Amino acid sequence: MKIIALYSPKGGVGKSVTSVNLSYLLSADGKKTLLWDFDPQGASSFYFQVEQELSKKIEDIFTEKKSLRKSITKTQYANLFVLPSDFSFRNLDLIIDAMKKPIKKLKNTISEVNDYDFLIIDSPPGFTNLNKLISKISDTILVPVIPTYLSLRTLDKLKFFMDSIGVNNEKIFPFFSMADRRKKLHRQIIEEKIGEFEIKTVIPYSAEIEKMGETLLPVPLFSKNKRLIEIYHNLKQEIIDNA
């Protein structure tokens, strides 16, 4: 099973949208895919219309007292399953801080679902204990970056954070997200930096993508913009090739 985390210290960069579209496209390819929504805001869970009260379970799941598998919810799509978020996830850092050998426990918990082809993790923003664990157990860390200098600075800070916790930067794959090519600065930064990124696909800023909140569907299932759908397919393929 490949574990792919979507992570950014900043919110509002397209992390959950990418998690949802990537998970759907992998499942549509016949890959058994599990999306674990760790963000307390629960955007990925919302997009897949999955809600579940986990507030009384999450600590037991994280400490191996209860089965992870029992909390998995099947979506309306073949091969696609979700471990939904809950607002109680905001307390996970306190739970982790009190745990002994949290990495080992999380690995043991995840080993329950090793019959999946892909585990996609929608991580919360910030530099947290939870993100430390997620980064260490993931095979690939995808980082959406808006083409601004502030976002590039955040990417540098993320790499420094990974160095500080002993995570190899080679498994970090940034890609440009929410890019508005009408803006000169966005075009300039993409041209300057795209050569440094392994993933060349650029996700545009698009009102069509924002419609996901209205349709509650992945982009390929409602959009009439063939180019946008192709972009997400290209991103998926680049991720598979690099993961």
What is the reported pLDDT for 172?
96
How far is residue 130's CA from residue 176's CA, in Å, rounded to a whole number?
A: 24
**Alpha-carbon separation of residue 173 from 4, 38, 65, 142, 243 (angstroms):** 10, 20, 34, 5, 9
How far is residue 113's CA from residue 176's CA, in Å, rounded to a whole number?
A: 31
Domains of the chain: 2-242 (3.40.50.300)
What is the reported pLDDT for 88?
65
Residue 233 burial (C-beta neighbours within 10 Å; 0-12, 13-18, 19+): middle
What is the reported pLDDT for 53?
55
What is the reported pLDDT for 90?
66
CB 232 within 8 A of CB 221: no
Q: Which residues of the chain have pLDDT under 70?
A: 52-66, 87-91, 93-94, 97-98
User: Tell me: the pLDDT tens digits for 161-219?
Assistant: 999 999 999 999 999 999 999 999 999 999 999 999 999 999 999 999 999 999 999 99
Question: Which residues lie closer than 8 Å to 1 by C-beta, 6 or more apart?
Answer: 113, 114, 115, 116, 117, 118, 119
Residue 227 burial (C-beta neighbours within 10 Å; 0-12, 13-18, 19+): exposed
The distance of Cα 9 from the centroid of its chain, to the nearest Å, equals 12
Beta bridge partners of 174: 143
